[in-house]
Amino acid sequence: MRIIASHGGIGLPKLEEVGRVNISSAIVYVAPERLEEACGALLLMPGVEIHARSPEGKVVVTLEDDDANTAADKYVALHGVPGVASVAMVYQYSDDESVDTEEVEA
């Protein structure tokens, strides 16, 4: 995929300036009595967004990074958040803009 133009909102790079993109989603299982504490800690992690959570302790997150190794480190860090019992990756996407690709006309 080659992105030629974008707006690059406040504090965000323009997409043509980004080389490698790694996006993944996970369900983080948290002890219900520690849900608020865990969600607060998750929100402090760079590149982590919370999209949904249940009173039972299921938290849906996405992780965005520019390096697959750093993303793997984030998954390890998720397990260290107070109250987290387990983490299950649901989806992972990676794209490397630095790889030469052939453009094809449709």
Residue found under tokens 């969600």? 39
Question: At residue 27, what is the residue type?
Answer: I
Give the per-residue pLDDT at 96: 72
Give the per-residue pLDDT at 19: 65
Do the domain assignments include residue 33?
Answer: yes
Of 88, 87, 89, 77, the C-alpha closest to 41 is 77
Q: For residue 73, what are the contacts with CB-CB under 8 A and spacing of at least 6? A: none
Do the domain assignments include residue 5?
Answer: no
Give the per-residue pLDDT at 71: 81
How many domains does the chain divide into?
1
Give the per-residue pLDDT at 76: 93
Do the domain assignments include residue 13?
Answer: no
Q: Walk along the chain (106 residues) and give the pLDDT tens digit of each residue.
A: 333 333 444 454 554 555 678 899 999 999 999 999 999 999 999 999 999 999 999 999 999 988 767 888 899 999 999 999 999 999 999 887 655 556 667 6
Give the per-residue pLDDT at 29: 98
Residue 33 DSSP one-character state? G
Q: What's this model's pTM, rounded to 2 decimal places?
A: 0.71
Domain with 63 in it? 20-96
Do the domain assignments include residue 11?
Answer: no
Q: CATH number of the domain that 72 lies in?
A: 3.30.70.920
Do the domain assignments include residue 6?
Answer: no
